[in-house]
Chains A and B, each alone.
Chain A
């Protein structure tokens, strides 16, 4: 029982962080599945969602701030795709990746300019931010909400992709870009919808993430973003259940490492895991193996 009491907080934190990473990772994995692009700006959009919340609660009541925040974040994600990625669709893959890095740089600098480089305190959301005690371990209620909410959202998303027309279009585009275009699928709008779903989930993720960390800085999105990407690779890029599973594994491992007193290496571990996966099984846990044809 002592052992459980000593380690439960880390496990709980791990599951909750894992859920938050999962919500970001879905954005990466969907975009990569369709555009073959590591959207380096995704983590920064996640950070912007946090900042938007900070500024919105000063203007409107909380109940209105949350949907507005999600709406604005989605708009930003949509705009980024239209402005920075769409013009480069036929350019080499390196250019579009550089564009993504440029967008990430721009967002971070804009955030620095707007906040003046100060860490902004995240508003505490009643009920969600309250502390609760389970099995003798105290934690915030958000820790318990996160995994449940994540799983509900993921099931909804998987259903959307499997059973709706737009979901079918997404699967088709990710399978073969050109052919689906020839079949009359509006590729541009499918890509836009992918970005909208991805950033929307990242906005929900930021709500949960910053509720448990309380401060937003201009670089707050970089690390969670990279880790979520690793989670997406780990699960097999393009596969949503894979990304979610990968995110939970990474979140839990990372917090166990912190619990063992190796905090310096909690980030390094994630990247070590990434490299091992890339070398041993580059297609990830559930990824499809694709071969290059000459």
Chain B
């Protein structure tokens, strides 16, 4: 009993250390923003990485923790992005944005924070509606039905009869954006923290039970539909907020960009990070975005070395080929991804370190014993 208490206390201590590390990272980012060029590619990576981290974690909540294989992420992001953009374009700009629709019919603007939350709520509300028919389906039927819904949403938002609200197939622009990389990071961190709390609550345990065995979970008295609906709505809520952040990052939004390829990209990030690991998803997002936007950019342009040697294969599109090959290798040979279903926490790192230290000590004493035996 006492030992249990002690362990709990120690675990709490490590949680504080984790929080301190995250706060430290934020301070570091703030310092870097003041000493580095604001246009440096590093900040683009941090901004986009943070947004993708949120999107990946929200998808992981559904796919990794509840075992619902949904491919509707792009649709919910689209709802979030459009909700945010529609309600925050300043009144005086509406005439120029909605130039084909006489300035549109919405003649008020919402504060940015309210609009971001509304973006999440709209996505969650839609998830609630489609959850009724869709969540009763089994694994791959669920995947294809959610994919279908995402496509339907994309068509509806491009419908010219709704142009007075959505601007039809035209761009939405001139809404407020963020400049500091701290904003998306802070929002993403807050949202991910909420998701973490949910996962560690009794609801989260119910989600995991459903993932592991639906029939057993039902027999234990878990209301399957209610919990699935809850996981689906929460995931969509944060996908909506992620969509709003993405709209701010991109500075323009167009429904046509939210294709199923976007969902696949996020799904692949989740797989790289490890299905069922929040920290894995976060890590994988930053790695994926850094590699695709920064480190591997050179693969897309032809390169001639100093001695006149033209490096073969390098030209437009090669980066993505390399990427997809790496992803296939991960899927086929390292299906647990970076983290598997473990979390990157100081506690686990320290424990892992202790264990390997203990193993090393044992190994050394073993060797000594053997040497002594040989000597004798």
Contact = CB atoms under 8 A, between A and B. Distances in A.
Interface in B130-155: 133-134, 136-141, 143-145, 147-149, 151-152, 154-155
Contact of B327 (A102, A110, A116, A282): A102
A98 B274 CA distance: 12
A84 B321 CA distance: 16
Interface stretch (B113-121, B220-228, B328-336, B357-365): B328-336
Tell me whether chain B's interface is mostly helix, strand or loop, or mixed.
Answer: helix
A219 B259 CA distance: 11
A271 interface: yes
B148 A271 contact: yes
A88 B324 contact: no
B320 A113 contact: yes
Interface residues of A, number: 47
Contacts of B267: 98, 101
B156 interface: yes
Interface in A68-125: 83-84, 87-88, 91, 93-95, 97-99, 101-106, 108-110, 112-113, 116-117
Contacts, number: 124
B151 A117 contact: no
A116 B316 CA distance: 7
A153 B141 CA distance: 28
Interface string A144-177: 0000000000000000000000000000000000
A267 B148 CA distance: 9
B288 interface: no
Given A38-B143, A101-B268, A278 B324 contact: no
B276 to A, nearest CB: 11
Contacts of A97: 69, 140, 143
Interface of B: 63, 67, 69, 133-134, 136-141, 143-145, 147-149, 151-152, 154-156, 158-160, 215, 260-261, 264, 267-268, 271, 275, 315-318, 320-321, 323-325, 327-328, 331-332, 335
Given A267-B151, A271-B149, 6 more contacts: A97-B69, A106-B321, A109-B317, A230-B148, A275-B149, A278-B137
6 contacts: A101-B267, A102-B328, A268-B154, A271-B152, A275-B133, A278-B141
